[in-house]
């Protein structure tokens, strides 16, 4: 394996680990928060607005990290009625260009998500600071997706990591 | 610019991830409308404020936990003890088990993977015909789609703005009718090839019931909680997820927290991520399409050609069956529902009834070529060709089409409680 290819592969492995940790922890935390809210609301008539904010944003964390992990092994939902009918050799040739397009589109979304976050940060009142910081998942999520697709462009197909 | 759009559609058909195709379409539509593409991000962020969104990862987690904890095996044992003494009883047990399980796993293919491998050898041992067994197992992957807490119903409710509680209630009778129709067909078929049923045994039933009692309590918990007005959908999801984790780790001890839980969490995140990312990017695109008055133009066009509700429903069924055969159910909900909602309302179709018709069509689409996902999963699972599986599934497909006509043209089956 050439040094650059090796570096990209290691980066991808590291990214997958990070995505797995964030996805798993976010979902676990979401479960804990949602359950504690049920208990607090129904047994103690209590409710914490901040917990609600965190839970709602954790869904976005799970979504982005789960989507990034789904890129591995080509697990995204597709309308592949044409691709399933074409020859496997031609289909294989299409894979990398499609992954590259995915990386570019996600990079564009990252740019606009960053713009959105910067705009929000300028006008967010004090009581919305928590939501503001949690909303960082929007640009970071698209960045992760774009990076994951980018690294896949430079990987051999057989190197999909399940 | 129209060339760009055509290229995008071709790329989507060639296998570009749907969320990327929809996202690129959204970027294109916003630039065409001279809007800042930041609106797409605003719409995506708005998704996070939807009160029922949290229930999707939680219910999915509950289903995944049950799948990993041996829930399918226990269910088959129970329903076989309950129904297996009749001709076609094993098939009926399979139908009920699959429906029960799919309701929790969201027809994501887990049913065929988890239950198909267990049931297929059982069918063969019991002298069931291979064709019948393959057909039944291929269609079984989407049977519980209309029962609470189906992921498809949750998504439809979020996208269309229809009450999820109402949709859950409306899906029960149509879902039960389908189970009865398929069970009757199984009974009739088993009489022809003399599949030997085992005798009924109270002892066997008691043992199976004792083993499964905690699983069976799960849908009771969900339905009593939601329909009794004790908890919201999101609260029910939290309790269900915690309950599933509790029974699999503490009662059945099939799942070890350190060994298995991380993988279940990651698998759930993958499934949820691949669905919700489509919803997220499509929200912006569909709102832009609504801004360009596409649904109202579509409405004007359809009004000039179709005058009655009956005609509209027929056209809707044909359209949705084609969509179901071309698109995955979750993407179809996200893309198509915002476009057909205004049309259906114009023809005075209740949004809840529309939801059940919509999902029933897509349930059939799951086993229809060219991209019916059940065909692909079953092909992988049983090592048969797509064509063999499709041929085997034809009788089941025919029954489901009759069922579809019944629920489309008899709204009382879905709206009896109103």
Q: Taken in order A144, A145, A146, A147, is the CA torsion positive or negative?
A: positive
> What are the residue ranges of helices labelled H in B347-385?
351-365, 373-382
**Chain A contact set for B245 (CB, 8 A):** 31
Question: Rounded to an integer, what distance in angstroms lies between the CA atom of residue B37 and that of residue A117?
Answer: 13
Question: Rounded to an integer, what distance in angstroms lies between the CA atom of residue B366 and that of residue A19?
Answer: 31
Q: How close is the nearest chain B Cα to the Cα of A3, in Å?
A: 30
Q: How confident is the model at residue B271 (pLDDT cuts 50, 70, 90)?
A: confident
Look at B272 and A66 and tell me if their CB atoms are within 8 Å: yes
Look at residue B144 in the predicted model and tell me its pLDDT. 85
Closest among B113, B137, B114, B112 to B124, alpha carbons compared:
B137
Look at B40 and A109 and tell me if their CB atoms are within 8 Å: yes
**Chain A contact set for B326 (CB, 8 A):** 79, 81
Alpha carbon A83 to its chain centroid, in Å, reads 25
Task: Evaluate whether A112 touches B41 at the Cβ level (below 8 Å).
Answer: yes
Question: Rounded to an integer, what distance in angstroms lies between the CA atom of residue B404 and that of residue B367?
Answer: 14
CB atoms within 10 A of CB B269: 32
Question: Rounded to an integer, what distance in angstroms lies between the CA atom of residue B41 and that of residue B276?
Answer: 14
> What are the residue ranges of helices labelled H in B54-129?
55-68, 71-83, 89-105, 110-111, 117-125
Q: Taken in order B405, B410, B413, B418, is the CA torsion positive or negative?
A: positive
Q: What is the pLDDT of residues B312-361, one digit of tens each?
A: 999 999 888 888 877 778 878 888 898 888 888 888 999 999 999 999 99
Q: How confident is the model at residue B229 (pLDDT cuts 50, 70, 90)?
A: confident
Look at A78 and B49 and tell me if their CB atoms are within 8 Å: no
**Chain B contact set for A86 (CB, 8 A):** 14
Task: Evaluate whether B321 touches B362 at the Cβ level (below 8 Å).
Answer: no
Average pLDDT estimate for B383-407:
90
Task: Evaluate whether A154 touches A5 at the Cβ level (below 8 Å).
Answer: yes
Look at residue A158 in the predicted model and tell me its pLDDT. 43
Cα-based distances in Å from A15 to A68, A151, B110, B272, B410 = 9, 10, 27, 19, 52
Q: Is the pLDDT of residue B81 over 60?
A: yes
* ipTM of the prediction: 0.93
User: Which of A23, A57, A80 is nearest residue B15 as measured by Cβ atoms?
Assistant: A80
Count of CA atoms in the C-beta half-sphere (13 A) of B279: 29
Look at residue A81 in the predicted model and tell me its pLDDT. 66
Look at B11 and A101 and tell me if their CB atoms are within 8 Å: yes
A135 close to B (CB below 8 A): yes
Burial class (CB in 10 A: 0-12, 13-18, 19+), B297: exposed
Instruction: DSSP letter for B344, please.
Output: H
Q: Which of residues 64-123 of A touch B (CB under 8 A)?
A: 64-71, 75-86, 91, 94-95, 98, 101-102, 105-106, 108-109, 112-113, 115-116, 119
Among the ranges given (B107-111, B142-146, B200-204, B296-300), the one the predictor scored with the smallest mean pLDDT:
B107-111
CB atoms within 10 A of CB A137: 25
3-state secondary structure of B328: coil
Q: What does the longest C-alpha to C-alpha distance in chain A come to?
A: 62
Q: Which residues of A40-55 are buried (b: 16+ CB within 10 A; e: fewer)?
A: eeeeeeeeeeeeebbb
Look at residue A159 in the predicted model and tell me its pLDDT. 47
Question: Rounded to an integer, what distance in angstroms lies between the CA atom of residue B221 and that of residue B239?
Answer: 9
Look at residue B190 in the predicted model and tell me its pLDDT. 87
Q: How close is the nearest chain B Cα to the Cα of A157, in Å?
A: 15
Q: How confident is the model at residue A162 (pLDDT cuts 50, 70, 90)?
A: very low
Task: Dig out the tokens for A90 from the structure.
Answer: 């031609």
Closest among B400, B406, B390, B389 to B142, alpha carbons compared:
B400
Look at B14 and A83 and tell me if their CB atoms are within 8 Å: yes
Closest among B133, B135, B61, B67 to B101, alpha carbons compared:
B67
Question: Rounded to an integer, what distance in angstroms lies between the CA atom of residue B373 and that of residue B101?
Answer: 17
Look at residue B361 in the predicted model and tell me its pLDDT. 92
**How does DSSP assign B235-301, residue by residue?**
HHHHHHHHHHHHIIIIIS----TTTTHHHHHHHHHHHHHHHHHHHHHHHHHHHHHHHTTHHHHHHHH
Q: Is the pLDDT of residue B11 over 80?
A: yes
CA angle B142, B223, B213 (to 5 degrees): 85
A–B CB contacts, 8 A cutoff, strictly below: 193
Alpha carbon A93 to its chain centroid, in Å, reads 26
CB atoms within 10 A of CB B50: 18
pTM of the model: 0.86
State chain A's mean pLDDT as an integer: 88
Instruction: DSSP letter for B150, please.
Output: -
Q: Is the pLDDT of residue B265 over 50?
A: yes
Average pLDDT estimate for B357-379:
82
Look at residue B351 in the predicted model and tell me its pLDDT. 94
Average pLDDT estimate for B225-247:
90
Q: What is the pLDDT of residues A61-112, one digit of tens each?
A: 999 999 999 998 777 877 766 776 778 788 778 888 999 999 999 999 999 9
Residue of A nearest to B14 (CA): A83
Look at B53 and A59 and tell me if their CB atoms are within 8 Å: yes
Q: What is the pLDDT of residues B106-150, one digit of tens each?
A: 665 667 777 777 788 888 888 888 999 999 988 887 788 899 888
Q: How close is the nearest chain B Cα to the Cα of A18, in Å?
A: 12
3-state secondary structure of B127: coil
Question: Rounded to an integer, what distance in angstroms lies between the CA atom of residue B324 and that of residue B156?
Answer: 15
Residue of B nearest to A17 (CA): B266
Which residue in this structure is represented by tokens 């044409």?
A82
Q: Which of residues 160-199 of B touch A (CB under 8 A)?
A: none
Q: How close is the nearest chain B Cα to the Cα of A141, in Å?
A: 10
Residue of B nearest to A141 (CA): B277
Closest among A129, A104, A86 to B13, alpha carbons compared:
A86
- Non-local (6+) Cβ contacts of B159 within 8 A are B279, B333, B334, B337, B338
Pick B152 or B105 by higher pLDDT: B152
CB atoms within 10 A of CB B396: 23
CB atoms within 10 A of CB B281: 30
Average pLDDT estimate for B154-161:
91
User: Which of B12, B242, B271 is nearest residue A79 as measured by Cβ atoms?
Assistant: B12
Look at B20 and A108 and tell me if their CB atoms are within 8 Å: no
Q: Taken in order B167, B172, B175, B177, is the CA torsion positive or negative?
A: negative
Look at B20 and A81 and tell me if their CB atoms are within 8 Å: no
**Chain B contact set for A55 (CB, 8 A):** 54
Q: Which of residues 273-292 of B touch A (CB under 8 A)?
A: 273-278, 280-281
A10 close to B (CB below 8 A): no
**Chain B contact set for A77 (CB, 8 A):** 17-19, 274-275, 278, 328, 330-331
State chain B's mean pLDDT as an integer: 87
Alpha carbon B201 to its chain centroid, in Å, reads 34
CB atoms within 10 A of CB A125: 7
């Amino acid at each position: 394996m050439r040094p650059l290819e090796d570096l990209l592969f290691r980066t991808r492995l590291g990214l997958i680990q990070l995505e797995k940790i964030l996805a798993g922890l976010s979902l676990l935390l979401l479960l804990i928060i949602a359950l504690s809210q049920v208990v607090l609301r129904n047994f103690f008539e209590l409710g914490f607005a901040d917990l609600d904010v965190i839970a709602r944003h954790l869904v976005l964390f799970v979504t982005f990290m789960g989507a990034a992990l789904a890129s591995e092994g080509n697990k995204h939902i597709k309308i592949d009625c044409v691709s399933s009918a074409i020859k496997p050799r031609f289909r294989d040739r299409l894979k990398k260009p499609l992954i590259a397009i995915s990386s570019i589109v996600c990079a564009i979304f990252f740019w606009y998500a960053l713009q959105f976050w910067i705009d929000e940060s300028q006008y967010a009142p004090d009581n919305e600071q928590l939501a503001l910081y949690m909303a960082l998942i929007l640009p970071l999520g698209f960045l992760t997706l774009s990076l994951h697709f980018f690294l896949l462009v430079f990987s051999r197909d057989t190197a999909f990591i399940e | 610019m129209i060339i760009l759009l055509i290229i995008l559609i071709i790329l989507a058909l060639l296998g570009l991830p749907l969320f990327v195709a929809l996202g690129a379409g959204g970027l294109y539509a916003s630039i065409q409308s001279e809007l800042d593409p930041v609106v797409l991000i605003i719409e995506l962020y708005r998704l996070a404020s939807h009160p029922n969104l949290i229930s999707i990862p939680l219910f999915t987690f509950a289903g995944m936990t049950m799948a990993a904890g041996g829930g399918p095996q226990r269910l088959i044992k129970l329903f076989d003890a309950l129904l297996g003494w009749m001709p076609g009883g094993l098939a009926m047990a399979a139908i009920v088990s699959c429906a029960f399980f799919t309701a929790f796993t969201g027809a994501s293919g887990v049913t065929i993977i988890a239950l198909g491998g267990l049931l297929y050898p059982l069918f063969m041992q019991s002298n069931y015909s291979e064709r019948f067994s393959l057909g039944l197992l291929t269609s079984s992957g989407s049977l519980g789609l209309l029962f609470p807490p189906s992921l498809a119903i949750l998504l439809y409710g979020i996208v269309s703005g229809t009450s999820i509680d109402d949709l859950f209630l409306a899906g029960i009778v149509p879902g039960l009718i389908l189970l009865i129709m398929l069970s009757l067909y199984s009974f009739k078929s088993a009489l022809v090839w003399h599949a030997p049923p085992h005798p009924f045994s109270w002892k066997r039933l008691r043992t199976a019931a004792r083993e499964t009692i905690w699983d069976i309590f799960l849908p009771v918990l969900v339905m009593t909680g939601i329909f009794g007005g004790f908890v919201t959908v999101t609260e029910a999801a939290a309790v269900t997820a915690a309950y599933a984790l509790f029974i699999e780790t503490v009662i059945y001890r099939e799942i070890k927290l350190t060994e298995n839980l991380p993988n279940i969490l990651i698998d759930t995140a993958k499934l949820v991520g691949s669905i919700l990312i489509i919803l997220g990017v499509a929200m912006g695109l569909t709102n832009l399409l609504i801004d360009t008055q596409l649904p109202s133009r579509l409405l004007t066009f359809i009004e000039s050609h179709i005058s009655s509700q009956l005609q509209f429903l027929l056209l809707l069924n044909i359209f949705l069956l084609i969509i179901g055969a071309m698109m995955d159910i979750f993407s179809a909900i996200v893309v198509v529902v915002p476009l057909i909602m205004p049309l259906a309302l114009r023809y005075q179709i209740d949004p809840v009834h529309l939801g059940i018709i919509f999902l029933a069509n897509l349930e059939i689409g799951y086993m229809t070529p060219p991209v019916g996902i059940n065909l692909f999963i079953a092909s992988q699972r049983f090592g048969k060709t797509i064509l063999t599986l499709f041929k085997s599934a034809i009788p089941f497909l025919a029954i489901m089409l009759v069922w579809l006509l019944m629920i489309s043209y008899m709204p009382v089956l879905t709206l009896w409680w109103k």
